[in-house]
Structure formats: C-alpha cells, structure tokens
Structure 1
Amino acid sequence: MINYTNHTIFRFFYTLLIAFIGGIVFFLITVPIPWLLGPMTAVLIGSRFKKIQVHWPIQIRDIGLIILGYSIGLSFTKEAAIQILGKLPLMLLLTVILVIFCAGIAFFVSKLSGVDYPTILTGSIPGGLSQMITFAEEVKGIDLTTVSFLQVTRVIMIIFSVPFLIYSPLVTNSSSALIENLENNSNQTSDTLFPSIIFYAAICVICAFLGKRLKFPTPFLLGPITATAILTITGLQGPELPNSVMDFSQIMIGGYIGLLLKPEKLQHKGKIIIFAIVSGLVMILGSFGLSMLLVHYNDITPATSLLSLTPGGADQMAILAHEVHADLSIVTGFQLFRLLFIFFAVPPFLKWIFKKKLLRNTEKPT
C-alpha cells in the first residue's frame, strides 16, 4: 500500500493547510502582520511533530519574494530615488556603525559561551540569511549549524518583536494607517490589474532569474525591485496589487521561514539558545537607539526609521512598512544598501580577519 503521508505533494498541502490556519488564527486575534507571523508560527510548531513531515519548496518562497519585489518597486518614484541618493553617506555611516555594534556583541557572546569568535561573528552579522550561511560554508573552521541557528533566531526574533514595537506608543499609532491601507487595497479590482499586470509579471520573473544568474544577493527580491523601479522612474507606473495577493505572498514567505529553525541539530543547545536570544534583543535595542537618532536628524517618521535600521530581512521589513504605511522606498533603500554593503564588503574583510587570527594561532609556541 502506498503511504501518501510521505509523498512530497501531500506534505506540501498539509504544510500549506497548517500555514493558512495559523494566518487565520493570528488574524482573528488581531496580531500584527498575521499572514506572515501566523504561518511562520504554525509551521514552526508543526515541524516539531514528526508523524507527518512538513515540506515547503523554496520556489514557493521565491514567488512570494517576486510579488513583494514588484510591490516595493512601485514605490520608487523619481522623487524617492533622489531622496535615497541624498542619504547614501548616512546609509553608509549607519551601516558601518551597525556592523561594528554586532561585531562587539559577537565578541562578548564568544567570550561568555566559549564558542570561537569567527563562528559567533558570522552568525551575528546582519546580512542576508542565505549569504552569511553560504559564507560560513566557504570558510574553514566555522560551525555552520551554529551560524545558521544564530542567523535564523535573529531574523525570527525581529519579525516577532518589531511589529509589536511598531504598533506601540513608543514608535507610532499605526492602527489608523493600517485601516486606511486595507481600505485602499480593498478597492483594487481585477479590471485595473489585467492585462497590464501580465507584462510586469513577465519582466519581474525574467529579472529575478537574471539576478540569480548574475549571483545577486536575494535575486528573487532584488531583481523585481530593480526592474519595477526602473519602469516606475521612467514613467511606466504598474497597477497596485490587491491586499489579498499581498497577504498570500506573506504566507509564501512565512511558511518557508517557519521551517528554518532547527535547534535539535545544535551542540550545547541550552547555552547557544540563551545567547542567541539575548544577543538578538540587544541588536533590536541598538537598532531602536540608532533609529531615534535618525528621526532626530531627518524628517522621517519613527516607524520608517526603525524599519530602515532593524537588522532583519529586507523582505520582512518591507512587508511591515507596507502594512503600517511607512515610507517603503526609504525602508527598502536602507535595507538593500546594508544587504549589498555586507554582501560585497564584509566577506572579504571577515576572511582577512580570520586569516590573521589563524596565522596568529599557528605562530604561538606550543
């Protein structure tokens, strides 16, 4: 007899059902960004039960990123592009400060946990999740499991905590903005989407795969953003996506994130989990402090500032910015600048540091 519970398609639809139920539950209890946090939580819990293994193809996540990338690209008007270019020196300064801050946290965590500094540092750098894990695979002596756990823990903590911080009086009262956003999106009909959306969808998919071929960081997000932004700046404004499509893209991304955390593969689980949570909280507090400085010296809202500087994924911060009516172009500009800076500048620098450390260790008398 065929065991259908082990079939990949069955496992995927089982996981999709779990994710959808999680989204509904979080929506009913009015949790911020329910269609991202709900599926992520439900799949994370569902993956702990081994009777039926959960499955979420990365291609589903990639489709969600393409949809999100298109939506982000629509916010890049000429005025927004000029504003972002004017903030490039500030982006560089704040990115360097954030990386140094994270390196300092990694130093203390390494000393207290007894885990080697290269592993903790690679797990603490707030770059793209996949980029840092790939870097860890390339450098000899780095514990890939610990790096993956630290990176995933940071991202999940940020995705869970920042929405509540954004909706708190400390940052802004976003409830009215969210209601307005839902009302605006609910007016979008299929008549305004078709047939023009077919052209934009084709362009976004082509640019996503082109970005992957060119080895861009997060190509399925960056490719559609770049393509749509260029079209928007040149005057070809694409149609806004309905709220239901954006919600489904969040399910696609949230379900994938929920499968990433695998504490059972860690050595010294208790110690690493505690330090991962503490260092994640310190990063969030540090980002909050920098965001308040950014608000003080620039004419932007606290929500825009916090989402711009929070060391989470560019896609998750963009989803939040979209939900609370923050300045999507500024948030994405800061997030992508940090992603590109870390992708191109940090790995060579880390390799240089690790090489010097290795030489120093080999020169020590035995």
Structure 2
Amino acid sequence: MRRPGSRPSPSASAAVGPGPALRLGIALLVAFAGGLICSLVRLPVPWLLGPMLALLAASKFIRIPLRWSGSLRNAGMIIVGYSIGMSFTYPLLAEMARQLPAMLLMTVLTLLVSVLFAVVLSRMGGLTFPTALTGCIPGGLSQMIVLAEEMDNADLTAVSLLQVTRLMMIVICVPLLAFSPLFHFGAGSAGPGALEEAAADVASWSGMFPNIFVFAVVAVISAWGGQKIKLPTAMMLGPVIGVAALHLSGFEAPALPSVLLNAAQFMIGGYVGLLLRPDSLSRKSLRTLALAVTTGAMLIAIAGGLAWLLAKLHPLSPQTSFLSLVPGGLDQMSLIAHEIGADMTIVAGYQLFRVLFIFFAVAPLLGWYLRRLQRKERLRSDRAGPAKA
C-alpha cells in the first residue's frame, strides 16, 4: 500500500505528465516564492511556513502533480539534528535528567487527553474506536498508519486525515502562538542549554572550517546508522546522537550560519506542505474533518495549560515549555524553538522523550490492545452467526 501523502512513482508519473525533474523544479519555485513572501511580511519561521502554505495551496490549483525529493527533506533533518546535537553540554544533560519525572508526567497526561479525544470521536464521528485511537495518538503519521493497517476495522483514510490535520494545525498555529503575548506568563529562564540569542546570525562561514568537515561526516554516518537500526526520526535523531557525542568529547562544534538553518526549514517545510492534498480532503467526511480540527485546537490549548504547569515546576521560559509539550514533530518544534530564541535542546529533549516513549512503550501496548479488541469482535461475530442461523 502506498503511504498517504506520497507521490506516484516516477515511471508512472512520466507516462501521464511532466517528468519528476520538472515537477520538482516547479515545487521548488513555488516553495521559494512562499518563503520569500512570508519573509517579506515578517511571518514567524517564514522558510518553514512559507513553503508549506505555498505548496499546500499550489497542489489545489496547479494541475501538475508536484513532487518533493525525500533527499531534500533528509538533508534538512540532518542539519537540524546537527544544530540540536551541538547544543548539548554536560550541564544540559544533568538538567534533562533532573526533569525526567516532569517529562514522563507531561507525556502521560498528553496521551490520556488523546485517548479521551478518541472516545469522543468514536461516538460523535461515527468512527470505530481503533480508527479514532490510532488517529488521535500523537505518535507520528507513519507509525500510526502501520499500526492501523494491522486492524481489520480501522479506516486508514480517516487515520491519515486525523493525524495530518493535527500536524498541519500545529505547524501553522504554534509559531503564531509562540510569538504572541499569550506566552509571556511568569518569569523563567531558558535553562543551561539555551542558545545564545541570534547565535546563528553571527556565525561566520570561515568559522565553520575545518571542524565542520568532521562533524558533517559524523552527522551523515549517524543518520545512516540510525536508519539501519530503525530509530524513530532517524535522519534527525541519528545526527543528534552522533554530533552530541563528538561535541561532548571535547571536539568543538561550529555554529551554523542562519542561511543554512533557513535552508533546513525550506527543505522540511516543502515536504510537509505536500503531505496533505486539498483535492483528497474534498472526498473525506466533513464531519470527520471538523472533529479533527476541533480536537487539534483543543490539544494545542491543553498543551498551553500544561506548559503553564511545567513553567511552574521548572525554571523554563513560557515559549520553551510550550514548544516542549505541543505534540508536533521533533524537527518542526526544534526549528521554531531556534527561531524564537527558546531552549532548542530542552524542547528536543521533551519531544524526543515523547516519541521514544510512544515508540517503545505505547505502540506495542496499543497494538496488543487493538488486536485483543479485534479478536473479541471476531469471536462475537462468530457467535452471532450460528445464533442467527
């Protein structure tokens, strides 16, 4: 089965329209125009939101099926992974260890809220409970799709719609909220791992050499190794681990110029923009879409409330605590954290803990529960059959 949001194979596309190179070229131009416009009007994270919004709109009005290279997205992930890894220090690791109970508490509370939303969706949206549950758990689109595929009574289309709608809402709304006065409650510091304000802007190209060559090799090899051992978000997590280990060993990691981080935003934003196609939304249930938007908005609001609680428990800035708890992608939240001057490594730590917790603890338990539920329904159906006969 083809993954939702993926594009037809190059051979199939070439037979019915422009080749992959032309479709990629058009997508790059559209994405660049979107990033440039958002930058000129001073939107937050313009090179992430711009390409995403431009390609989302273009896929509705441009009849040519646009294409985005997975290699571009992977390159952006590696750059972000490097930026996170180079920010790790021994005081930061100690701080993250100290906050481990808070990470577990906030992750469990977020998952409980998601399960509650699943119960509501299954009753109000006419969805089966396995469909609603796999659609609401913030464990990543691909992982939840794989889990839903194992269920006979799970609607993959609805699962994709729920997951992607939440992701798109978070990526669009969270930067605007993080920049707003809503997240200036209380006092708090960014923590020991905070990036120096505008550090990437003052980083010089000459200051990157020669150390950047060593770190680039380590980042790429770590990304490849992460894929081989099937790490979640391997293209980012692998470089985070490899670069952090080398940096902590005493080998100094150079800061990246802002143009490289903008390029990473561009490469990731374009990929996200083509995940959801408006023409497919028109074929989905409007009720499911409305419920997906409603639950997505409520989840963001609840994350804001939990962020207030987290800022009371630990000396974190409001923006750092908010981005740490919003169930978005590790890459998107880290980029937004860098853009607004939040503590990118703390944000990455919380996001990574949630991803790993869901990957290693929740997903197996969820799979076991849904398969058990499926066996019970089959048994009930088998018993009902002879009774009717």
Report the TM range for the smaller structure's normalisation.
over 0.9
The gaps in structure 2 that reach 5 residues or longer are 1-13, 191-195, 385-389
Tell me the alpha carbon deviations over residues 97-137 of structure 1, each in whole angstroms, 9 at most, x when there is no partner: 11111110111011101011111111111112322222223
Partner of 1:33: 45
Could you say which residue in structure 2 is the equivalent of 1:16? 28
Q: Which amino acid aligns with 2:220?
A: V
Name the counterpart of 1:71.
83
CA distance in 2, matches of 1:205, 1:46: 32
**TM-score scaled by length of structure 2:** 0.88
Does structure 1 retain, via aligned residues, the 8 Å contact 2:147–2:367? no
Pairing 1:332–2:348 present: yes
Q: Distance in 1 between matches of 2:270 and 2:174?
A: 19
Q: Which amino acid aligns with 2:373?
A: K
1:273-317 deviation digits (Å, cap 9, x = unpaired): 101100100110111111111011111111110000000001111
CA distance in 2, matches of 1:295, 1:204: 33
Do the aligned residues in 2 keep the contact of 1:22 with 1:39 (CA within 8 Å)?
yes
Letter in 2 for 1:106: A
Give the Cα–Cα distance (whole angstroms) in 2 for the partners of residues 102 and 70 of structure 1: 31
The 5 A counterparts of 1:215-294 are: 215-262=230-277, 264-265=279-280, 268-294=284-310
Asked if structure 2 preserves the Cα contact closer than 8 Å seen for 1:131 and 1:217, the reply is no
Q: RMSD of the alignment, in Å?
A: 2.0
TM-score of the superposition, structure 1-length normalised? 0.93
Aligned residues: 359
The C-alpha deviation readout for 1:23-62, integer Å capped at 9, x for no partner, is: 0111111111000000000011111135322100111101
Does residue 298 (structure 1) correspond to residue 310 (structure 2)? The answer is no
Alignment-mate amino acid for residue 297 of structure 1: L
- Give the 4+ runs in structure 1 shifted more than 4 A: 2-5
Letter in 2 for 1:282: M
CA distance in 2, matches of 1:185, 1:352: 45
Contact kept? 1:318, 1:332, Cα under 8 Å: yes
The separation in 2 between residues aligned to 1:206 and 1:99, in whole angstroms, is 33
Q: Distance in 1 between matches of 2:284 and 2:20?
A: 32
Extract unaligned runs of 5+ from structure 1: none
Counterpart of 1:147 (choices 150, 159, 171) is: 159
* 1:62 aligns to 2:74 (yes or no): yes
Structure 2 residue matching 1:323: 3-state secondary structure: helix
AA partner of residue 327 (structure 2): P
Q: For residues 193-245 of structure 1, give each alpha carbon's deviation from its aligned partner in whole angstroms, at most 9, with x where no partner exists.
A: 12221111111011101100101111001000011111222222211110000
Identity %, equivalent residues: 43
Equivalent runs, 1:315-330 vs 2, <5 Å: 315-330=331-346
Counterpart of 2:228 in structure 1 is 213
- Of 107, 124, 130 in structure 2, the residue corresponding to residue 118 of structure 1 is 130
SS at match of 1:48: helix
The 1:163/1:259 distance shift into structure 2, 3 A limit, reads: same
Partner Cα separation in structure 2 for residue 87 and residue 59 of structure 1:
35
Provide the secondary structure at the position in 1 that maps to 2:61: coil
